[in-house]
């Protein structure tokens, strides 16, 4: 033992959970929704998923290479972004639009702000909103078995028929990964069991939105539980609340902030979905989330927890 031993600052041990492992768990949790999407919409859904993931991973690789940075795709976050974006696209979307979405998500929303952890907006949702504005037609054309079909949410908004059980199971029109509430909840349960997410954001989000819808429904001809169930299972609410609002990077770090963030999301989604008069696109989840992403620094600022032993003093 002639040489000196290694030294480092304490602690000298680390937990075995890494960023890559967490991302891997998120991917596992998205499998039920993805598999259901492929089963429901056909093999083209698989194509869109693979193409979008590839687009994201390649974009990140190229960016890292061009900027002469350490390759960061090992953390799997690009795969998560690609998968989430694909699940937010309609199955008939032209492949080139899906590719463009992946590039936008990674390069514009994430990498130019400094890569993972530095982006202030959820990359997948940023890209989805970009595509919605740029290619509204392609992004809002939903098909089922090759036939253009209205989404249940559109039907709710416009007074047409909708079937709550079908919405829960997911055999309706919509984006690849949003239709099946059941599949999403199975994945969400996995995230909860693996302690990847806590209940604060999704529960406050869904709870506030439910309250909003209840009040609205009560004011418009009495409380209608079918309407309520339809609102909960319809559109991107479940996918958004469990998988995108809970994105670490773009949600508050403070426990209190997560509650407030969830409440803000619920209120905004209610406004966009229910109060807004635009009948063509009754979806509000994506916009609500990316808008609230921008509020995160402010929310964190007002929800700094009281440190141990200082609670009573400040009361």
310 binds another protein (CB under 8 A): yes
Other C-beta atoms closer than 10 Å to the C-beta of 96 total 10
Question: Which span sits near another protein by CB under 8 A: 18-26, 129-137, 165-173, 203-211?
Answer: 18-26
66 binds another protein (CB under 8 A): no
Q: How far apart are CA 244 and CA 254, in angstroms?
A: 17
- Report whether the peptide linkage leading into residue 109 is cis, meaning its omega lies within 30 degrees of zero: no
Contact call for residues 48 and 98 (beta carbons, < 8 A): yes
* Smallest gap from residue 265 Cβ to another protein (A): 17
| Residue with Cβ nearer another protein (195 or 220) | 195
Joined together, the tokens standing for residue 97 give 């639009």
* Beta-ladder partners of 143: 148
Question: Can you tell me which of 10, 133, 219, 315 binds another protein, judged by CB under 8 A?
Answer: 10
* Smallest gap from residue 18 Cβ to another protein (A): 5
Burial class (CB within 10 angstroms; exposed 0-12, middle 13-18, buried 19+) of 191: buried
Q: How far apart are CA 151 and CA 167, in angstroms?
A: 10
249 binds another protein (CB under 8 A): yes
Question: Can you tell me which of 30, 46, 116, 204 binds another protein, judged by CB under 8 A?
Answer: 116
279 binds another protein (CB under 8 A): no
115 binds another protein (CB under 8 A): yes
Question: Can you tell me which of 43, 65, 112, 118 binds another protein, judged by CB under 8 A?
Answer: 118
Q: How far apart are CA 154 and CA 277, in angstroms?
A: 12
Question: Which span sits near another protein by CB under 8 A: 137-145, 215-223, 231-239, 246-254?
Answer: 246-254
3-class state of residue 161 by DSSP: coil
Joined together, the tokens standing for residue 118 give 């530095």
Question: Which span sits near another protein by CB under 8 A: 48-56, 94-102, 108-116, 153-161?
Answer: 108-116
Other C-beta atoms closer than 10 Å to the C-beta of 89 total 26
| Residue with Cβ nearer another protein (89 or 244) | 244
Residue 145: partners with Cβ closer than 8 Å, 6 or more residues away: none
- The residues that touch another protein, with contacts defined as CB under 8 A, are 1, 4-15, 17-19, 21-22, 72, 75, 77, 114-118, 248-251, 253-255, 258, 304-313
């Amino acid at each position: 033992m002639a040489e000196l031993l290694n030294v480092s600052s304490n602690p000298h041990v680390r937990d075995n959970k890494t960023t890559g492992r967490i991302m891997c768990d998120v991917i596992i949790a998205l499998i039920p929704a993805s598999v259901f999407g492929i089963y429901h919409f056909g093999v083209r859904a698989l194509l869109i998923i693979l193409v979008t993931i590839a687009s994201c991973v390649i974009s990140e690789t190229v960016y890292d290479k061009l900027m002469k940075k350490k390759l960061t795709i090992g953390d799997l976050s690009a795969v998560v972004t690609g998968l989430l974006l694909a699940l937010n696209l309609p199955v008939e979307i032209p492949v080139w639009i899906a590719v463009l979405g992946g590039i936008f998500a990674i390069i514009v929303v994430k990498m130019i702000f400094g890569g993972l952890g530095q982006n202030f907006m959820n990359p997948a949702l940023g890209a989805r909103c970009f595509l919605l504005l740029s290619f509204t037609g392609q992004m809002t054309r939903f098909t089922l078995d090759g036939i253009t079909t209205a989404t249940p949410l559109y039907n709710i908004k416009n007074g047409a028929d909708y079937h709550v059980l079908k919405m829960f199971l997911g055999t309706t029109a919509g984006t690849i990964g949003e239709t099946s509430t059941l599949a999403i909840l199975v994945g969400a349960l996995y995230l909860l069991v693996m302690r990847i997410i806590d209940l604060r954001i999704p529960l406050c989000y869904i709870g506030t939105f439910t309250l909003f819808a209840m009040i609205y429904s009560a004011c418009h001809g009495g409380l209608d539980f079918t309407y309520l169930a339809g609102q909960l299972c319809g559109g991107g609410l479940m996918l958004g609340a469990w998988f995108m609002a809970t994105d670490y990077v773009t949600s508050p770090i403070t426990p209190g902030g997560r509650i407030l963030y969830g409440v803000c999301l619920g209120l905004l989604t209610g406004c966009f979905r229910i109060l807004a008069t635009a009948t063509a696109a009754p979806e509000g989840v994506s916009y609500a989330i990316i808008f609230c992403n921008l509020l995160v620094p402010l929310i964190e600022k007002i929800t700094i927890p009281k440190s141990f032993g200082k609670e009573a003093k400040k009361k």
